[in-house]
A and B are shown apart, each in its own frame.
Chain A
């Protein structure tokens, strides 16, 4: 079950090497995103994309705009 975290946790985990992923569409990512975040829109979150862009041996943090 994915663990819900706060922004303080995000900073700490990213400092420790976690992969930060914005799952919003590219246009929204290009406007503004968190430092160090990569863009992997939900619609493009296929096995091939995930295997190509993400490493299994590091934590992954996903976020979108807010609770929705």
Chain B
């Protein structure tokens, strides 16, 4: 559709500098970028992921990364390339071996990743179909594989519960106000 619009603007309507953002809205939203519109306020996992997650390179030493995680009190580190493309994930317990080994030797090279425009409610519903203890930490990446952040399953469930409680409170307040007004 954008191809036809671009050609029409340029060839038929005489606009000279016409560009086509071919990957379009799907690409923009999958990168977790700002959005506007009626659905903009609906929480997506990119909105609530922790963007301050520890990262390391695949060639870093196991002992160094373990020490860094201990210093910041975290239990997981995302292994990324120089362009922040996710290469793997290591947990503290993966780092208990040879401190001189490279992280890439002990990392999980295939962690599941989700796009930031996934609805929080949809993610939680999906996770709740998995056994407890599975998928406790969700990596959020762009469609190019670049790290956006990490979302813990417990945090996702808690945030959604809080939202539901807020909506219930709001609905009760509205109903009360309507009842008062009709008296």
Q: Which residues of A contact B (CB under 8 A)?
A: 1-7, 9-10, 13, 18, 21-24, 29-35, 37, 40, 42, 45, 47, 50-51, 54, 56, 58-68
Q: Which residues of B contact A (CB under 8 A)?
A: 1-10, 12-29, 31, 33-40
Quick one: which of A13, A32, A54, A58 has the most chain B CB within 10 A?
A: A32
Separation of A21 and B5 alpha carbons in the complex (Å): 10
Separation of A47 and B12 alpha carbons in the complex (Å): 8
Quick one: which of A24, A59, A65 has the most chain B CB within 10 A?
A: A65
Chain B hits for A61, CB < 8 A: 18-21
Contact B19 A65 (CB under 8 A): no
Chain A hits for B23, CB < 8 A: 6-7, 66-67
Identity of the chain B residue whose Cβ is nearest the Cβ of A27 in the assembled complex: B38
Chain B hits for A21, CB < 8 A: 5
CB distance from A36 to the nearest CB of B (A): 8
Contact A3 B19 (CB under 8 A): yes
Chain A hits for B39, CB < 8 A: 31-32
Contact A4 B20 (CB under 8 A): yes
Known: A33-B35, A33-B37. A62 touches B25 (CB 8 A): no
Contact A45 B8 (CB under 8 A): yes
Known: A42-B1, A50-B15, A64-B1. A4 touches B22 (CB 8 A): yes
Contact A45 B31 (CB under 8 A): no
Contact A29 B13 (CB under 8 A): no
CB distance from B10 to the nearest CB of A (A): 6
Contact A10 B5 (CB under 8 A): no
The 8 lowest CB-CB distance pairs between A and B, nearest first, are A2-B6, A59-B17, A63-B21, A64-B1, A32-B37, A66-B26, A23-B5, A64-B2
CB distance from A14 to the nearest CB of B (A): 10
Known: A31-B39, A68-B1. A60 touches B25 (CB 8 A): no
Chain A hits for B20, CB < 8 A: 2-5, 61-63
Separation of A54 and B7 alpha carbons in the complex (Å): 15
Contact B13 A66 (CB under 8 A): no
Known: A29-B37, A32-B38. A62 touches B31 (CB 8 A): no
6 A-B pairs with C-beta separation under 8 A: A2-B10, A4-B22, A7-B21, A10-B19, A22-B25, A65-B1
Chain B hits for A59, CB < 8 A: 17-19
